[in-house]
A and B are shown apart, each in its own frame.
Chain A
């Protein structure tokens, strides 16, 4: 059964070994589900969040995960819209990762809002002025799109293919794949942005509030760009890791390189915009709100450091690596750059979510700290485990890397 489910011409580890690999992840998943149950059943005081740290680890991780998942839409965009054919080699993997990231994010969201059963109110009584409404709508729709993009990948499975109607369905799906990619791109451009807008609009929080173009603050656009930059890097990274773990060549060097080059190009823009944005904020926005920028960093020098690191080591450096042909041609440099870029995203989202809340807004308040409880952490580990399991299964039974078969032959 297992054997016959694996695509022709692909070598996969024996079932036993595969199950051994899945075991720990399943255990972790079980633990995570238990944690999630605790939070839902007994209330969110278990998460260590409080009125001052009303957003905690979950929102930080959601933002990060979704940014990394951006690879899905952006690769799709490059492949189907900009016709970067070589990316066909990773598109399936990218879509799978995107699907995992987004569905995972939604799960966490449902655990960490106080009344998940009322979540649909947002669709029934939406407040069109709220960035969160925008996020909710886009993410829900895009999750749908991703599901549609993911299904044909599953249907590629050798067993399922024997059901002709599935084949027809799959075939028709692929005809509309361009439309889906387009829709996906549009949607995710929006919510990547609105996730940034989420914070940029907070005129009560001088630390994150940014000037806006039209109805959107600059963070809206910065998020799109940074996500677009991080996406390909994350694909590059995951592909490389998968090939290392499975000891197989999955894509050709040129795929890696073009992913890197794309990231690099976008990073140029990002570093540039980010720098300008920061300068404007320091010199105009914040003082305009009656806050001396020093006060942001006086309390904890580390804060300044992070800000600088984000633009330099996690922004400029990987960009430089990507853009230098000699380095780009060596996988180890590519991977380094990819790691840095992904870390950059993490740092940026951390500053925006956690530091914003740690800083006091009232004059008689002081800096706060926050540490998620084990229940909260567990709930997130649940998503990691879920991701690993889904990806492993997809890799085993669906053909995530179309070039793999051929690369194996020769």
Chain B
């Protein structure tokens, strides 16, 4: 053990340790140290563990929610009613335009075709008629899965050419009776549905997340080439 002194041997080749703290330490090491309570001997270790576990809990439990703000949609919307009682298909309200581009959400005018007068007597229905249809004001929905401007997604290539069903990416949205609040990442400003939810690992289903990896994984699975320009603009 003492040979370790050799390593700060100075020009004189002086081997004896210099600092008193060091002497005490060395003696502790060699003679097992003076008697001290168990706790105080392991105090350091405990402290370390406290820090470790504390941060782990904070990081995994409390940190993730802090990243997101959620905004209520301007109106509640019941997809299920439209599907069941209305007997409608997704494509009735979310069609392709004449040039093959995807129309995304219906315009107020499209809605008004059926909803000139209130159908049923839900609060949302009333609000819709009074605040939007009558004054002719478009509803500015928050679109959960709207891709950022640098990403290009062709619905027709997936739905028509690729033969995907809406559910495969959007989940069972069509049967939802209400729409959840829209969550935004406070740093990136992305929708949570696009930015990803889980903190660890990588979600595989686009219903959970629509990150680049999600797209490329699926493309690779289906043997599609994935040049950058395929999806980036």
Chain A 379-410 per-residue mask, 1 if CB under 8 angstroms from chain B, else 0: 00000000000000000000000110110000
| Assembled-state Cα–Cα distance A8/B25 (Å) | 21
Q: Say yes or no: B21 contacts A164, CB within 8 Å.
A: yes
Cβ-closest chain B residue relative to A407:
B11
Expressed in whole angstroms, the minimum distance between the Cβ of B157 and any Cβ of chain A is 25
Q: Say yes or no: B19 contacts A162, CB within 8 Å.
A: yes
Cβ-closest chain B residue relative to A172:
B4
Cβ-closest chain A residue relative to B5:
A171
A300 at the B interface (CB under 8 A): no
A248 at the B interface (CB under 8 A): no
Given A167-B25, A171-B4, A161 contacting B10 (CB threshold 8 A): no
Chain A binding surface, main DSSP class: helix
A163 at the B interface (CB under 8 A): yes
Q: Which residues of A contact B11 (CB under 8 A)?
A: 402-403, 405-406
Question: A164 contacts which of B4, B10, B22 (Cβ < 8 Å)?
Answer: B22
A307 at the B interface (CB under 8 A): no
| Assembled-state Cα–Cα distance A405/B12 (Å) | 11
A244 at the B interface (CB under 8 A): no
Question: A161 contacts which of B4, B12, B19, B24 (Cβ < 8 Å)?
Answer: B19
B58 at the A interface (CB under 8 A): no
> CB within 8 Å of A: which of B1-48?
4, 7-8, 10-12, 18-19, 21-22, 24-25
A174 at the B interface (CB under 8 A): yes
Q: Which residues of B contact A156 (CB under 8 A)?
A: 8
Q: Say yes or no: B21 contacts A162, CB within 8 Å.
A: yes
Cβ-closest chain B residue relative to A161:
B19
Q: Which residues of A contact B22 (CB under 8 A)?
A: 161, 164, 167
Expressed in whole angstroms, the minimum distance between the Cβ of B20 and any Cβ of chain A is 8
Q: Which residues of B contact A168 (CB under 8 A)?
A: 25
Expressed in whole angstroms, the minimum distance between the Cβ of B97 and any Cβ of chain A is 35
> CB within 8 Å of B: which of A1-50?
8
**Which interface class (under 10, 10 to 19, 20 to 34, 35 or more) fits A?**
10 to 19
Q: Say yes or no: A406 contacts B10, CB within 8 Å.
A: yes
Cβ-closest chain A residue relative to B19:
A161
> CB within 8 Å of B: which of A140-163?
156, 161-163
Greatest chain B CB density within 10 A among A156, A162, A164, A168 is at A164
Chain B binding surface, main DSSP class: helix
Q: Say yes or no: B25 contacts A174, CB within 8 Å.
A: no
| Assembled-state Cα–Cα distance A167/B24 (Å) | 12
**Which interface class (under 10, 10 to 19, 20 to 34, 35 or more) fits B?**
10 to 19
Cβ-closest chain B residue relative to A177:
B7
Q: Which residues of A contact B10 (CB under 8 A)?
A: 402, 405-406
Cβ-closest chain A residue relative to B12:
A406
Expressed in whole angstroms, the minimum distance between the Cβ of A122 and any Cβ of chain B is 16
Expressed in whole angstroms, the minimum distance between the Cβ of B52 and any Cβ of chain A is 17
Q: Which residues of B contact A406 (CB under 8 A)?
A: 10-12
Q: Which residues of B contact A163 (CB under 8 A)?
A: 21
Expressed in whole angstroms, the minimum distance between the Cβ of B10 and any Cβ of chain A is 7
| Assembled-state Cα–Cα distance A36/B10 (Å) | 43
Q: Which residues of B contact A167 (CB under 8 A)?
A: 19, 21-22, 25
| Assembled-state Cα–Cα distance A406/B10 (Å) | 9
Q: Which residues of B contact A8 (CB under 8 A)?
A: 18
Cβ-closest chain B residue relative to A156:
B8
Expressed in whole angstroms, the minimum distance between the Cβ of A276 and any Cβ of chain B is 42
Q: Which residues of A contact B8 (CB under 8 A)?
A: 156
Expressed in whole angstroms, the minimum distance between the Cβ of B150 and any Cβ of chain A is 13
Given A161-B19, A162-B19, A171 contacting B25 (CB threshold 8 A): no
Q: Which residues of A contact B25 (CB under 8 A)?
A: 164, 167-168
Expressed in whole angstroms, the minimum distance between the Cβ of A399 and any Cβ of chain B is 10
Q: Which residues of A contact B19 (CB under 8 A)?
A: 161-162, 167
| Assembled-state Cα–Cα distance A58/B9 (Å) | 42
Cβ-closest chain A residue relative to B28:
A164
| Assembled-state Cα–Cα distance A226/B116 (Å) | 81
Expressed in whole angstroms, the minimum distance between the Cβ of A115 and any Cβ of chain B is 13
Expressed in whole angstroms, the minimum distance between the Cβ of A299 and any Cβ of chain B is 38
Expressed in whole angstroms, the minimum distance between the Cβ of A153 and any Cβ of chain B is 12
Q: Say yes or no: B7 contacts A161, CB within 8 Å.
A: no
Question: B21 contacts which of A161, A171, A174, A402 (Cβ < 8 Å)?
Answer: A161
Expressed in whole angstroms, the minimum distance between the Cβ of A179 and any Cβ of chain B is 15
Expressed in whole angstroms, the minimum distance between the Cβ of A151 and any Cβ of chain B is 15
| Assembled-state Cα–Cα distance A162/B12 (Å) | 22
Cβ-closest chain A residue relative to B25:
A164
Expressed in whole angstroms, the minimum distance between the Cβ of A176 and any Cβ of chain B is 12
Expressed in whole angstroms, the minimum distance between the Cβ of B9 and any Cβ of chain A is 10
| Assembled-state Cα–Cα distance A70/B133 (Å) | 73
| Assembled-state Cα–Cα distance A365/B67 (Å) | 51
| Assembled-state Cα–Cα distance A330/B217 (Å) | 68
Greatest chain B CB density within 10 A among A8, A156, A163, A167 is at A167
Q: Which residues of B contact A402 (CB under 8 A)?
A: 10-11
| Assembled-state Cα–Cα distance A406/B4 (Å) | 22
> CB within 8 Å of A: which of B51-103?
none
Expressed in whole angstroms, the minimum distance between the Cβ of A290 and any Cβ of chain B is 31
Q: Which residues of A contact B4 (CB under 8 A)?
A: 171
Cβ-closest chain A residue relative to B7:
A174
| Assembled-state Cα–Cα distance A161/B24 (Å) | 13
| Assembled-state Cα–Cα distance A8/B14 (Å) | 14
| Assembled-state Cα–Cα distance A218/B182 (Å) | 57
A-B contact pairs, 23 of them (CB 8 A): A8-B18, A156-B8, A161-B19, A161-B21, A161-B22, A162-B19, A163-B21, A164-B21, A164-B22, A164-B25, A167-B19, A167-B21, A168-B25, A171-B4, A171-B7, A174-B7, A402-B10, A402-B11, A403-B11, A405-B10, A406-B10, A406-B11, A406-B12
5 new A-B contacts at CB < 8 Å, known A164-B24, A167-B25, A402-B11: A8-B18, A164-B21, A167-B22, A168-B25, A402-B10
4 pairs of A and B residues whose beta carbons are closest in the complex = A164-B25, A406-B11, A162-B21, A161-B19
